[in-house]
Structure 1
Amino acid sequence: MSYSYAIATPSYAGDFERCRLLCASIDRFVTGHTAHYLLVEDRDVALFKQLEGPRRRVIAEAELLPSWLKPRPDLLSFGRRRVWTGLGALRRGLPPLRGWHAQQLRKFAFPMKSYEDVVIFADSDMMFLRPFDVTRLGRDGKVRLYRKPDGIAGTMAQHADWCTMAARLLGLPEPTFPSADYINNLVSWRRDAVAAMMTRIEGIAGRSWVEAIATHRQFSEYLIYGYFVERVLGLEAAGHWPDEHELCKVYWFPEDVGELATLRSFEEILEPGQVAVGVQSFIGQPVERLKALFEAQ
């Protein structure tokens, strides 16, 4: 069985140059996908249109999320930051959301708007460095799901809270720990599984999936999906095969900057089977340095 594949990247103006680098790396190294979609806030559409091409399209948030949930200046930060809220959201009991909440909601919404069978999420602060045919994610009629067994310990407070919230959303028993971890870069979801997951969430909550999820300020899109396909459907029935190998080497913390400073090329740190590197934008690594390392590849 063959599948069609999309790559989706939620982004925002502050990450534009990093997203430009991601797009260049996809155009250079990635094959097998029908299109690459950039999921951005409405006001950022014109900026990101510069990156469109024959197989790249910008999707405005208004195409994905309900009209009653809109970004507005955060008065508590004197307008320096933005929150997603409004009278309609407040009437539905939703607390003001941050940009990282909105990006997760875009991820949930996109597969149900797309035409492709599989969506691969590639964050805008990563780049591909080796040839990668996305169709290799399919195996014997199933699609790869990143799954690290026992990856979340009960002592990991935030992750444990995300697991508990996922279980409650899906009507599952309270999770026990250690629990499997599904959070990573280059995570692939099936469109039909996302649709089934939203039907389940809405049936349990008695309200739209956006309302059910966004009433909680702490949630993880990857854990919710992982819990659904493994604990509700079962991986076999969901059409997924599990893989704990990380396709993307990720620098998560400020202390990682020291190692980055000594590199001549990312090839020095890529492990066998890894095809990409992610450098979290909040750790302060200049994008010029990342461009230099990319060009040295």
Structure 2
Amino acid sequence: MSRLAIITPSFGPDFDRCADLHRSVLAHAPDSIRHHIIVPRADLALFGQLSGPRAVIHDEADFLPRSFRSLPGGNLSVNLRRPFPPLRGWILQQIIKLAAAARSDADVVVLVDSDIQFVRPFSADTFRRDEVVRFYRKPDEVDERLPRHVIWHQVARSLLGVPAAAPPYPDYVSSLLAWDPAVVRRLLARVESVTGRRWADAIGAKLHFSEWTLYGVYVDEVAGAGTNVDSFRVADTLCHSYWEETPLDERAMRTFLGEIQDHDIAVMISAKSKTPTPLRRRALADLSLA
């Protein structure tokens, strides 16, 4: 039987969302699945309320090199080995995801942000088939219309020593993604071999970076057939997502949830939308999916 672990980096302002996510894990996942929640040390006591047989709360410092130090009064850290540029919060979070996945002894890890809730049953078999982990890849989606995604591809190629190529590129970015921890360990070793640096130092020095894109480019361009990924390559995310930065109201929420697909097992309503928590909770509680 395949072993699945869920990994969620979070922090204090997202506690209510993360608590709702964890309740959805308890409701829709088998008892064998553990939810690993990684937070800043200052938030350990708050998130400790969720600790239990199926929730493991971690200090994010346990997944970072000792040379990474937080700066007071902002969402920045510094790498004492290379103080400039400072580490942005979103880069740090991606390093934490990579480190946590690489350290996992599960067969598959699912990276899930706090603004997601599961709405249908799922198991390890949802994300792993015939010993191959599900690989999300949407062909020819990234071009000049998505300039940040283009930069992410260029950065991933440089870190992995893959020759430059012109767009369009595949899109590997989703709000809910599965990774093979063994593949993550190999890709991080590849980054160290190519850059000659500790992988966290090499990634932390980047101003623009996408962990999803790094994994996708590695699987497509480096690992290739060795992963047998073609047997479980997919173009659907399993997550019905709302990415806009404007709040949903009652009517918009009904419209949004009415568009959920039969294969979706989760719903993401971006925290940046500032959709009221009572509305989100009420709407998702009323969403009954077999």
Q: TM bucket by the smaller chain?
A: over 0.9
SS state of the match for residue 95, structure 1?
strand
Matched, 1:195 2:195: no
Q: Distance in 2 between matches of 1:33 and 1:242?
A: 26
Q: Distance in 2 between matches of 1:32 and 1:265?
A: 33
Q: What is the 5 A alignment of 1:273-284?
A: 273-284=263-274
Matched, 1:142 2:132: yes
Which residue matches 1:238? 227
Which TM-score applies when normalising by structure 1? 0.90
Which residue matches 1:251? 242
Which residue matches 2:37? 38
Deviation of the 1:187 alpha carbon: 0.6
Q: What is the 5 A alignment of 1:1-297?
A: 2-31=1-30, 33-73=32-72, 79=73, 81-85=74-78, 89-234=79-224, 236-240=225-229, 241-255=232-246, 257=248, 261-264=251-254, 267-297=257-287
SS state of the match for residue 132, structure 1?
coil
- Contact (CA 8 Å) 1:10, 1:40: kept in 2 or not? yes
Q: Distance in 2 between matches of 1:267 and 1:158?
A: 28
Q: Which amino acid aligns with 2:49?
A: Q
Gaps of 5+ in 2: none
* Per-residue deviation, residues 199-258 of structure 1 (Å, max 9, x unmatched): 110011111000011110100000001100110011x31243211012101111134725
Q: Which amino acid aligns with 2:253?
A: L
Gaps of 5+ in 1: 74-78
- Contact (CA 8 Å) 1:153, 1:177: kept in 2 or not? yes
SS state of the match for residue 86, structure 2?
coil
- Contact (CA 8 Å) 2:87, 2:205: kept in 1 or not? no
* Per-residue deviation, residues 164-185 of structure 1 (Å, max 9, x unmatched): 0000000001132110111002
Q: Which amino acid aligns with 1:131?
A: P
Deviation of the 1:133 alpha carbon: 2.2
Q: Distance in 1 between matches of 2:114 and 2:124?
A: 17
SS state of the match for residue 65, structure 2?
coil
* Percentage of pairs with the same residue: 34
Q: Which amino acid aligns with 2:30?
A: T
- Contact (CA 8 Å) 1:141, 1:239: kept in 2 or not? no
Q: Distance in 1 between matches of 2:163 and 2:31?
A: 39
Q: Distance in 1 between matches of 2:236 and 2:102?
A: 27
Deviation of the 1:31 alpha carbon: 2.6
Q: Distance in 2 between matches of 1:151 and 1:42?
A: 38
Q: Distance in 2 between matches of 1:149 and 1:90?
A: 39
Which TM-score applies when normalising by structure 2? 0.92
Q: Distance in 1 between matches of 2:81 and 2:133?
A: 39
SS state of the match for residue 8, structure 2?
strand
Q: Distance in 2 between matches of 1:157 and 1:265?
A: 30
Q: Distance in 2 between matches of 1:288 and 1:95?
A: 40
Q: Which amino acid aligns with 2:241?
A: V
Q: Distance in 2 between matches of 1:62 and 1:239?
A: 34
Which residue matches 1:76? none
Deviation of the 1:142 alpha carbon: 1.0
Q: Distance in 2 between matches of 1:39 and 1:15?
A: 12
SS state of the match for residue 14, structure 1?
helix
Q: Distance in 2 between matches of 1:155 and 1:263?
A: 28
- Contact (CA 8 Å) 2:177, 2:237: kept in 1 or not? no
Deviation of the 1:270 alpha carbon: 1.1
* Per-residue deviation, residues 47-91 of structure 1 (Å, max 9, x unmatched): 111111111101111211011112222xxxxx3x32111xxx144
SS state of the match for residue 213, structure 1?
helix
